[in-house]
Every structure is written in structure tokens, then in C-alpha cells.
Structure 1
Amino acid sequence: MSKRIEAKYKIDRRLGVNLWGRAKSPINKREYGPGQHGQRRRKPSDFGTQLMAKQKLKGYYANISEKQFHKYYVEAVRRKGDTGENLVGLLEHRLDAVVYRMKFVPTPFAARQFVNHGHILVNGKRVTISSYMVKEGDVVEVREKSRQIPMVIEAGESGERDIPDYLEVDHKALRGTFLRTPKLADIPYPVQMEPNLVVEFYSR
């Protein structure tokens, strides 16, 4: 698991967006970056725009490591079809992303920790690897012993997010099924993601 040195809300401010669409994000109050030079905004170059698109997409998924993110890009290129669509589809297959989308936890960072601590079952077997790739038809559920954790209850009752239609979730049972690989238009990103620019960044 990669070490997240910076606070997640500093990522918001550095990128200048409310990346996870949360009410607590400081970008709601201060729309400039952290530090003494944070208010200096220059028009980015093409490279800067592509880099920003990559940092947004990478940061959204609990700030996964550069090495791991690049592996998803390589796999997306290898597959048939649109590379950008393939990339976001692969990212949505990550177990921590699925747990977050199913509203079992409030944030992608909490999802990574929740999986790593052994609270999640996939097809009845405990999986502790947050990057585990969930397949279509897989059933993901919270372990019975973990269902009364306050964070789980809070996430399920939150009105901040809706569950996308490529997942089917029974919130009483805290169990869901991954129905299909989503397209970019299906994924409820709170901010505009531009995977085509990420592809341009890596193909330079």
C-alpha cells in the first residue's frame, strides 16, 4: 500500500477542485492552492493540463501510487477499444473503489483501509488487497462482525452520493453485485475527469 504523505484535503486545494464532492472540503472556502504561493494561478501549458488531468484521476482513487497507476494505463492500452474508457473501467474494478461506490464507507481512503483490515468478503471469501480486481458478477459484502462499525452505518445513511447503476446493492444486508464494467459517462465523478488527457500525458 502506498504511503499517503499529504492530507487528502491538501490534494483538493493543490488541484483546485473538490475532488470527492464532500461538504467538508476546504476548496469550498478557499479556491486556491496551499502555501504562500497558492494564490498565483498561471494558465497551464498543454503538458500542465495533461499532468493535472492525471493527478486528478490518480488522486481520486485514494491517491494510488504512480507505479500502480501507470500499470493500469499499460493494461488499458493493451485492451481493445478506447484507451481512456478502458482506463477508468479498470480503476472502477478495484475492490476499494467498489466498496466506496457501494456506500459501505464514506471515502476512498476509508475504503482502502477497510479492505486492508479484512472487513470485506468477495464471493464469501475475505480479501485484504485493496487493488484486487473485482469481476463482473462478483458479490462484495461487509463481514457480519463489521456491520455495526459507526463509519459503515454513517456511510449508508449519507445523502452525499448515489449508487451507480452498474452496481446492485442491498443496503440492509450490506451486500452488492458488480454488474458490468462502466463507461466514463456512467461513473459519478463529482468533477470532470479527462482520461483522454491522461492517455496523451503517458503517450508523449
Structure 2
Amino acid sequence: MTKRTSAKYKIDRRMGENIWGRAKSPVNRREYGPGQHGQRRKGKMSDFGLQLRAKQKLKGYYGDLTEKQFRRIYAEAERLRGDTGEQLIGLLERRLDAVVYRAKFVPTVFAARQFVNHGHVLVNGKRVNIPSYRVQEGDVIEVREKSKQMALVLEASQLPERDVPDYLDVDHSKMTASFVRTPGLADVPYPVHMEPNLVIEYYAQN
């Protein structure tokens, strides 16, 4: 379980954006940050501040990954051929917990991490309980038979606030999803504007 599970809405308020597009987000009611100083007027942000914010927002979106985890993914994206920002998004979207969330098997990315951890997910017929497991194109992800009638799963598939992206082929009647292709930034249905280019700038300078 992530340390942020009980306080995930603080991430929304800290960023001042509803980063998961949830109806219950406190940003829908109050746009200022959490804490006693949250309502202070914000000045113009420096380039470093913008880069840091972009990194924190992307890192927070995927369940508030640790800095060590996120930096490792960035380093791998940097080694791959092509645009580093696009590679970073592709690697993040290939995480098993991200795929489970995108497939609408669970309502939140935090729930996806717990769901995988507790052994409710199969990849190509074999149980995988590592949220960071890297899904490959053509892999079939499935909710374990005993878990398909869980209230969490049934409710998540009916959520109106987000759609399944076209790089997944999902059958909710069977609770299966096929990972069709690795997406780029334009393919990912982020509810808010993500700026991986600023994340790359941040790590290039720090």
C-alpha cells in the first residue's frame, strides 16, 4: 500500500488540479492548497518550480511513486531510442497497476496497486502481485475468477468519469484486457495537462 492512500486528495489540493478527474475531488470545491497557508496568493513560479510541479504531478498521478522509483523509470526512458518524454509516458503506462486502472477494473490507481498486491490479477494466465510489473504488447490481463464479483470491481466498470483508452482492448463481461500497444502522451486520457518535457528538464538539471 502506498503511504498516500489515506491522503490522496491532498495531492489534488497541493497541485490545485483534479489530476484524476474525480467527482469527489476537493479541488471541485476549493482550489487552494491544504494546510493553514494554503490560501496565500501564489506568485509567479520559477522555471525550476514549474519543472518540479510537473514532476510531482506526473509522479502523484501514478499513485505517488517514490522518488527512487520515478527516477529509475526516467533513467530507463533516457536510455531508450526516441523522445525521452514519450518513452517515460510509455513506461509508466506499461506498469501493471496502471493497466488495471486504465481497464476500469478498479476505481483509482491507489486501489489498483492494492488489488495487484493482493493477488487478484493474472497476466497471461499467471498470477502477478507486483504493481510495477512491466506489461508487454499482446499481454492479456485478467481479474482472477474469484475476484470478478467483488463490489469494487463491479462498481469501477460502471464509472462514467473516465473511458478506456484505445491502446487497451477490454471485455468487462469477462474482466479481461489485452495490451494492444504502448501509448504516447497524446494517447493517454489524462484529465489534466501533463508536461513530461518539463520532467525531463528537471532531471537534466538536478
Q: TM-score range by the shorter chain?
A: over 0.9
| CA displacement at 1:5 relative to structure 2 | 7.2
Is 2:109 the counterpart of 1:122? no
Q: What letter matches 2:197 in structure 1? A: N
Question: CA–CA distance in 2 between the matches of 1:11 and 1:20?
Answer: 10
Question: CA–CA distance in 1 between the matches of 2:93 and 2:5?
Answer: 24
Question: CA–CA distance in 1 between the matches of 2:154 and 2:181?
Answer: 26
User: In structure 2, the residue corresponding to 1:168 is in which secondary structure?
Assistant: strand
Q: What letter matches 1:21 in structure 2? A: G
Q: What letter matches 2:9 in structure 1? A: Y
**Aligned position for 1:161:** 162
Where do 1:19-168 residues align within 5 Å? 19-40=19-40, 41-168=42-169
| CA displacement at 1:4 relative to structure 2 | 2.6
| CA displacement at 1:33 relative to structure 2 | 0.3
Q: Please tell me whether the aligned partners of residues 2 and 65 of structure 1 are also in contact (alpha carbons under 8 angstroms).
A: no
Q: Please tell me whether the aligned partners of residues 51 and 199 of structure 2 are also in contact (alpha carbons under 8 angstroms).
A: yes
Q: Please tell me whether the aligned partners of residues 139 and 175 of structure 1 are also in contact (alpha carbons under 8 angstroms).
A: yes
Name the TM-score, length of structure 2 as normaliser. Answer: 0.97
Question: CA–CA distance in 1 between the matches of 2:179 and 2:53?
Answer: 30
Q: What letter matches 2:17 in structure 1? A: V
Question: CA–CA distance in 2 between the matches of 1:101 and 1:5?
Answer: 18
Name the TM-score, length of structure 1 as normaliser. Answer: 0.98
Question: CA–CA distance in 2 between the matches of 1:62 and 1:196?
Answer: 20
User: In structure 1, the residue corresponding to 2:157 is in which secondary structure?
Assistant: helix
| CA displacement at 1:42 relative to structure 2 | 1.7
Aligned-residue RMSD, C-alpha: 1.0
Is 2:192 the counterpart of 1:191? yes
Query: Unpaired segments of 5 or more residues in structure 2?
Result: none
| CA displacement at 1:36 relative to structure 2 | 1.3
Question: CA–CA distance in 1 between the matches of 2:187 and 2:126?
Answer: 28
Percent identity, aligned pairs only?
Answer: 71
| CA displacement at 1:124 relative to structure 2 | 0.2
Structure 1 outlier segments of 4+, above 3 Å: none
Distance 1:5 1:177, change over 3 A: closer
